[in-house]
Structure 1
Amino acid sequence: MTATAPPVAPSDEPAEQSALSRVRSHLRRSAPLAFAVIAGLLLYVSFPPRELPWLAPISFALFGVAVYGRRLRAGFGLGLAFGLAYLVPLLSWTGVDVGPLPWLALAAAEALLVSLAGMGIAYVSRLPLWPLWAGGVWIASEALRARAPFNGFPWGKVAFGQPSGVFLPLASLGGTPLLGFGVVLCGFGLASLALRFRKVRRASSEDAPPLKGLSFLKDKGMVAAAVFTVAPIVAGAVAMPFVATSAEAGTARVALIQGNVPRMGLDFNAQRRAVLDYHVRETMKLAAKIKSGQVKRPDLVLWPENSSDIDPYVNQDAYDEITKAAQAVGVPISVGAVVTAQDGTPRNRLIQWDPKTGPGAVYDKRHLQPFGEYMPYRSFFRIFSKDVDRAGEFVPGKKPVVFDMAGTKIGNVTCYEAAFDDTVRDQVREGAQILSVPSNNATFERSQMTYQQLAMDRVRAVEHGRAVMVPVTSGVSAVIRADGTIAQQTGMFEPATLLADVPKRTSQTLATRAGVWPEALLVAIGVGGLGWAVVRARAGRRADA
C-alpha cells in the first residue's frame, strides 16, 4: 500500500490579486475627478476672508493634472466638477436674503461656463507648450463670464483672489487678465513639470540608466514647464518695487462715514429713514470733533451707496438733513441715494452735495446687478419664484463722471461695478486722482461677500495706481493705499468714521493705458491654441486614413 500526499488547498492569491487590481483600477479612474474637486475647493479657500493667494497656483496644478490628455467630454465633466466645488461655496452669500435656489442656480450657471474652459484646456493639453495655451483658454472663459449672460458676472475671477502676494504687481502691467493669467500659467506649468518629470523618470528607468542631478535639464519639455512655473513669479517680484504709491498732486484729507443700519424691529420705510439719520448723526459727530479741535477738518466726506434711500430731490426733509450735515462739516459730501430721474426712471445715484449750493454733479451706476437692481425676463423667472418681484427696476447710467470735490477729483465706482474692468478704468481715464467705491452690503449680513469685494478694491488700487476709498453702510469700510494694502478699516455693523490723508495721483499705469488689449491678446492665445489643436487633430485623422 502506497502513501498518497494530502490534497493541496486552492490558493486565494489570484483572487486577492484580482480584487486588488480592480481597486487600483477604480482609484486610477476616479483620481481625475477627485483632483478636480479638490482643486476647486482649494481655489475657493484661496479667496478672502482667508488670505491664501499661494493656494491658487496649487489649485490649477491639480486641475491641470486632472484634465491633461483627456477627451472633450471628460474635460467638460471635470471642469463642471471644478467649477461647482469652487463657485458653490464662493457665491453662498447670494442666498442670504433670498434662499438657496437663486444661489445654487447662479453657481451652476457659472460652473457650466467653467466646464467649457475645462473642455478647452483638455483639448489643448496635447499640444507642445500646453500650459501657455491652457492659460489663454482660461482667460477667454473669464472674459466670456464677464460679458454674458445679462451683461456678465465677473465675480470669482482668479485675479480677485490675489489682493496680496507676489503675483499682485502684474495687475499694474496688464490688469486683472494678466494677473489671473500669471496665476493660472504658474499652476499649469507646475502640473506640466510634475507630469513631465514622471514621464522622463519612467523612460530613464526602462530604457537607460536613471537620470541624476541636473541631467533632467536635458529634457526640453521639462525646461519649458519650469519656465512657465517660475516666470510669473519672477515677473511679479521684479514689478513689485515699481508699483506706484507716491503723491503726485499732493494729498487730500478724506473722511469716510459708516452710519450703520438698524438690523431688526423696523419696517422698510422706517429703516430707509433710519439709515439716512444714522449717516447724518455720524457726520454731525465728526463736525463736533472738528469744532472742538479734536480732529482736522477734512477736504471732503464720502457717504456709502444707499445712505439715503429717500429721494432728496422730492423729499424736503431728506434734502434738509443732508444739507445740515454738509454745512456742519463745511465741506462737500458724496451722497449715495435712490432717486427718480427727470425721465421718470429710478436710478442708483451718487450726488455731490455742496454745503452752500446743495446738490450738484451726479453719477448714475452703470453696471447694475441682475436679479437685484433689475430683473431680466421677469415674467419668465416668476414661474420659478415669486422673489423676482423683490428685484428693482433701475436704469443704468451712460457715462463715467468724476467729482471735483474741493479740488480733488474723485472717481466713482458704485459697489458691484468694482468687478468690471472697463467701469473702473473709465473713471481713471476720466481724470480720477482717487477712487471711491461706495457700497451697501447690509443685505448680505456678515457673509464673506464684503471681504471678497474688499479684495477686488485692493486689486483695483494696484491695477490703476490709485488709493481706493470704500465707504460702506454697515462695513467693512476701508482706506486702501495704491499698493493694495489697507491703511484703515472698520468693523461690521457699527457706526464709524475714518479719516486719512490720501495721496492724489495723476499718472496712468501701463494697465490703464493698455485698456482691453492685454485681455484681447491673452484670449487670442487661447483661441490660437484651440485652432492649432483642431488642425493637428484633422491632420492626424488624415494620416490614419
Structure 2
Amino acid sequence: MHQFLTPLVAILGLWLGFPNPLGQVPLLALLYPAALYACALRASTWQTALRSGWLTGMTAASACLYWLAVPVHDFGDLPWVLAVPCAVVIGAYVGLYAGLFCMATHLFRDRTSPLRRALLAGVLWFLLEWLRGVLFTGFPWLSLSSAFVPWPVAVQFASVVGGYGLSGIMAAIACLAYESLHGRQTSLCAATLSGFTLVICAWGIMTLSTPLPQSSPFGALMIQGNINQDQKWEAAFQKGTVDKYLALTRQALGGERPRLVIWPETSMPFYFQEHKTYGPVVRDFVKENNIALLIGTPGYDRKTGAGYALFNRAYLLGADGETLGHYDKEHLVPFGEYLPPGLNLPFLAKLLQGVGDFTPGTRTQPLKLGDLALGMLICYESIFPELALQRVADGANVLVNISNDAWFGFTAAPEQHIQLSAMRAVEQGRFLLRGTNTGITAAIDPHGRIIGRSNVFVDAAVFVTASPLSSRTVYFHIAAWLPLAGVALALLLLLRPVRPSA
C-alpha cells in the first residue's frame, strides 16, 4: 500500500502547494519532501530509491509544469498528443533531482541518527535546488520556498539564506516531521523541528513589523497592453499596438503623475532604435507628458565585420524623449529566444520571438534615472537569484522585471512566475516593479508582498509608490559561500557514522 500511497501524497502535495487551476495551499508543498524522504528510507536498494524518487518527481513536476505544453500546441502547431510530452520531458529533468535526493538519502540512511539524517536531507535539498538553478543554463522553477510567498511571514528568512537555503530548511522541517512520527529520537526531532519553525516565524514577524524605509518615494505606472500573441509580430498590427499603449498610458496619466512608466517586454514589436514612424511618436509622447518611459523592444548591434547581433532589449527614455540607456537580456530562454545547437526543428523555430534568434547581452549595469538605478530583469531572468544579486552588486536600488507570459494562456504559469519573482525582492531587499503584456503586472515590496497587481488577459494600468533602497541583505553578502557551506555541513553531519544495528 505504501508503495503507491506515499508517491501519491508527494505528487498531490507539490501540485496543491504551488499555484494550480484549483487553488494553492502552501503548507501542502512540504508533503513533497516528506514523502520523498519516506520513499528513500523504505526502499530496499539505492536503485529502487532512485527510480521511485525520479518517477514520483517526474509525475509531480510534469503536473505542475503542464502549461509548458500550451505554447508548443498553440504556437508550435503540434497536436496535444505531441505537445504534452514536451512538458513531461522537462518534468522528467526536474524529477531527476528528486531521484537523486532519494538515492542519497537512502545511502546515508544507516550511517546517521534520525536527527542528523533529517538535517542532512535538508542540506541535500538545498544543494540540489542550487545545482538545478545553475546546471545546463539553469531551471530553478518549483523552488520549494517560493510556494510560501502567499504567506509573507514564512519567506522573510530568505533575506538571510536565500530562496534555496530556505527551501533546504523547509525540507529539513518536513523530514523532521516524518522522523517525529516514526522511529527513534522522536522527541529530539520534534524539538528541532519546533526550533526551526520558531526561528523562521520569529524572523518573519520581526521583519514584517519593521516599517520599510521611505527614502525618496516615487510613483511608477506599469501598463499591461494585453496584445494577442498571435498578432503582435505582424507588421499590420504594429500601429494598433503603439496606439493602444499610448491610449492606456494617457488614460492612466489623467489620474496619476508617475515618475516612471513601464511598458512590458517586446511591447514595441519592431526595432525601436531605427523606426522612423513609431519611434518619434513614442518619444514625442514622452516629451509632451514629461515622464520617463521604460520600453521592451528588439534591438540590434552591428557585428565586427558583417551581420547583426539581435537582442531582447529594454530602452529607458528620459522626460525629454532621449535615450538614457538600454539593457540587453543576458540569460535567454531556450526554444523561446534561441534554439540550442542540433535542435533547429521547424515546430521549435515557431516558438521563437518574432525576430528570430537573440544574442545574450553582456552589460548588466543599472539604467539610471536621477537617483534611481533600475536593475533590469527581462522575462524569466527574475527566477535566478544570482542575476538579481548581480544587479544589486552593480548598484541597483530598484529591480524591474518586464515580461510576456502570453505564451501560456490561462494557466498557472503567471502565478508561479510572480511568486519566484517575489523571492528576488526578499533576497535583495528591493522593490520589484513588474510590467507584463498579459499579466501578472504588479509591484512587490522588499518583503515579498504584492502591493498592486492586475488580472491576466485584461487591459490594465497599475500605479504604485516605491522607494529606492541601498541597504544590502545578509544573503547578498554570503550568497557566494552558501553552496560551499552546505557541502561542509553535509560532511560534518556524516563525520561520525552510526553502526547499523544487527
What is the CA deviation profile of residues 120-154 of structure 1, one whole-angstrom value per residue up to 9, with x for unaligned ones? 122223222101111111122112211222x1111
Match of 2:226 among 260, 272, 275: 260
Which residue matches 1:47? Answer: 18
How many angstroms does 1:228 deviate by?
Answer: 3.4
Q: Provide the rounded CA distance (Å) in 2 between the counterparts of 1:407 and 1:303.
A: 21
Which residue matches 2:311? Answer: 347
Q: Provide the rounded CA distance (Å) in 2 between the counterparts of 1:348 and 1:117.
A: 36
SS in 2 for 1:373: coil
- Going from structure 1 to structure 2, the CA distance change for 1:281 and 1:503 (only over 3 Å counts) comes to same
Letter of the structure 2 residue corresponding to residue 366 of structure 1: E
Structure 2 unaligned regions, length at least 5 = 73-82
Q: Provide the rounded CA distance (Å) in 2 between the counterparts of 1:319 and 1:342.
A: 20
Would you say how many aligned residue pairs link Structure 1 and Structure 2?
Answer: 476
Which residue matches 1:277? Answer: 243
SS in 1 for 2:348: helix
- Going from structure 1 to structure 2, the CA distance change for 1:439 and 1:267 (only over 3 Å counts) comes to closer
How many angstroms does 1:83 deviate by?
Answer: 0.8
Match of 1:82 among 20, 42, 56: 56
Q: Provide the rounded CA distance (Å) in 1 between the counterparts of 2:262 and 2:231.
A: 28
SS in 1 for 2:182: helix
Which residue matches 1:34? Answer: 5
Determine if contact 2:383/2:424 at 8 Å carries over to the other structure.
no
How many angstroms does 1:387 deviate by?
Answer: 2.4
Determine if contact 2:39/2:102 at 8 Å carries over to the other structure.
no
Q: Mean Cα displacement is larger for which, 37-46 or 49-58?
A: 49-58
Q: Provide the rounded CA distance (Å) in 2 between the counterparts of 1:347 and 1:245.
A: 40
Determine if contact 1:124/1:134 at 8 Å carries over to the other structure.
no
Q: Provide the rounded CA distance (Å) in 2 between the counterparts of 1:122 and 1:272.
A: 58
Confirm or deny that 1:307 pairs with 2:271.
Answer: no
Determine if contact 1:245/1:465 at 8 Å carries over to the other structure.
no
Letter of the structure 2 residue corresponding to residue 310 of structure 1: F
Confirm or deny that 1:369 pairs with 2:338.
Answer: no
Which residue matches 2:348? Answer: 387
Which residue matches 2:412? Answer: 448
Which residue matches 2:37? Answer: 64
Which residue matches 2:207? Answer: 242
Q: Provide the rounded CA distance (Å) in 2 between the counterparts of 1:448 and 1:328.
A: 39
- TM-score, structure 2 as length reference: 0.88
Which residue matches 1:214? Answer: none
What is the CA deviation profile of residues 315-373 of structure 1, one whole-angstrom value per residue up to 9, with x for unaligned ones? 21231132133123311111111111232111011111123252231111111111211
Match of 2:258 among 298, 311, 328: 298
Determine if contact 1:167/1:183 at 8 Å carries over to the other structure.
no
Q: Provide the rounded CA distance (Å) in 2 between the counterparts of 1:92 and 1:251.
A: 40
Letter of the structure 1 residue corresponding to residue 265 of structure 2: E
Q: Mean Cα displacement is larger for which, 224-233 or 491-500?
A: 224-233
SS in 1 for 2:320: coil
How many angstroms does 1:230 deviate by?
Answer: 1.7
Confirm or deny that 1:501 pairs with 2:461.
Answer: no
Match of 1:94 among 60, 63, 68: 68
CA RMSD of aligned residues (A): 2.4
SS in 2 for 1:411: strand
- Going from structure 1 to structure 2, the CA distance change for 1:231 and 1:356 (only over 3 Å counts) comes to same
Q: Mean Cα displacement is larger for which, 443-452 or 268-277?
A: 268-277
Determine if contact 2:383/2:420 at 8 Å carries over to the other structure.
yes
Identity over aligned residues, as a percent?
Answer: 21
Determine if contact 2:262/2:294 at 8 Å carries over to the other structure.
yes
Determine if contact 1:283/1:329 at 8 Å carries over to the other structure.
no
- TM-score, structure 1 as length reference: 0.82
Letter of the structure 2 residue corresponding to residue 283 of structure 1: T
Letter of the structure 2 residue corresponding to residue 514 of structure 1: I
How many angstroms does 1:455 deviate by?
Answer: 0.7
Match of 1:136 among 123, 143, 156: 123
How many angstroms does 1:281 deviate by?
Answer: 2.3
How many angstroms does 1:195 deviate by?
Answer: 1.2
Which residue matches 2:77? Answer: none
Which residue matches 2:191? Answer: 227
Structure with larger Rg: 1
Determine if contact 1:441/1:475 at 8 Å carries over to the other structure.
yes
How many angstroms does 1:521 deviate by?
Answer: 1.7
How many angstroms does 1:185 deviate by?
Answer: 0.8
Structure 1 unaligned regions, length at least 5 = 1-26, 200-220, 290-294
- Going from structure 1 to structure 2, the CA distance change for 1:380 and 1:371 (only over 3 Å counts) comes to closer
Which residue matches 1:205? Answer: none
Confirm or deny that 1:322 pairs with 2:306.
Answer: no
Q: Provide the rounded CA distance (Å) in 1 between the counterparts of 2:489 and 2:236.
A: 54
How many angstroms does 1:266 deviate by?
Answer: 7.7
- Going from structure 1 to structure 2, the CA distance change for 1:388 and 1:116 (only over 3 Å counts) comes to farther
How many angstroms does 1:388 deviate by?
Answer: 4.1
Q: Provide the rounded CA distance (Å) in 1 between the counterparts of 2:412 and 2:15.
A: 11
What is the CA deviation profile of residues 422-451 of structure 1, one whole-angstrom value per residue up to 9, with x for unaligned ones? 101111222222211111111111111100
Determine if contact 1:40/1:84 at 8 Å carries over to the other structure.
no
Confirm or deny that 1:148 pairs with 2:121.
Answer: no
Q: Provide the rounded CA distance (Å) in 2 between the counterparts of 1:269 and 1:89.
A: 37
Determine if contact 1:249/1:506 at 8 Å carries over to the other structure.
no
Determine if contact 1:131/1:228 at 8 Å carries over to the other structure.
no
- Going from structure 1 to structure 2, the CA distance change for 1:423 and 1:74 (only over 3 Å counts) comes to same
Once the two structures are superposed, the pairs formed by residues 519-534 of structure 1 within 5 Å of their partners are 519-526=483-490
Letter of the structure 1 residue corresponding to residue 482 of structure 2: P
Q: Provide the rounded CA distance (Å) in 1 between the counterparts of 2:88 and 2:295.
A: 34
